[in-house]
Amino acid sequence: MIFRFAGNGIQSTDADGLKLNIRNTVIRDNTGDGINILAASGGPARVSLQSVSFNGNTNGIHARSGATVSAFDSTFAGNSSAGVFADNTVGGSFAVVRVQRSQITGNATGVQAGSGAGVAASVVEISQNLINFNSGNGVSVQTGGTVETFTNNDIQGNGTNGCPGCTGAGPGQ
């Protein structure tokens, strides 16, 4: 359990190609993000999450330039901003988050790709998720962002439902 930090629960600005695997962990009640990943000028940052719970942080996951995060069977709930956030405001490589078979609920925004200050591409790929009861958008596509969906997500009960601005994707595409 990682909880109640004055800042991010996990933060990395690794310049040497970070490879981080987290399993069966709760990351909660931090004043910053649950996980904040930025790949510095070196190799890309690769993060794998399975059965991880992000509750009560600012953002559950915040992937920035050069970060690729894959999350499976995880929970993103009660975060004050976004449950899942890919945001590349510094330029450089893509920020990519892939979320499958997870619950994204009770956040301000469920899933967000890009921001008003998006400088370079950020992508969130979603498949087989429950995206429910977020007070704002279930899914939000902002400047510089793309959300790719396999169209098999349950996105309802949010302030704004559906996946406006999303790109359909399918196996092998």
- Cα distances (Å, whole numbers) of residue 63 to 53, 141, 157: 16, 15, 26
**DSSP percent split of the chain into helix, strand, coil, nearest 5:** 0, 50, 50
pLDDT per residue, tens digit, the chain (173 aa), is 999 999 999 998 887 888 999 999 999 999 999 999 988 765 689 999 999 999 999 999 999 888 999 999 999 999 999 999 998 866 667 889 999 999 999 999 999 999 866 566 899 999 999 999 999 999 999 988 999 998 899 999 999 998 888 988 865 44
Give which of 117, 48, 122, 109 is closest to 76, Cα–Cα.
109
Distance between CA 162 and CA 138 in Å, rounded? 7
Write the single-letter amino acid at 37.
I
> Where are the chain's structural domains?
2-154
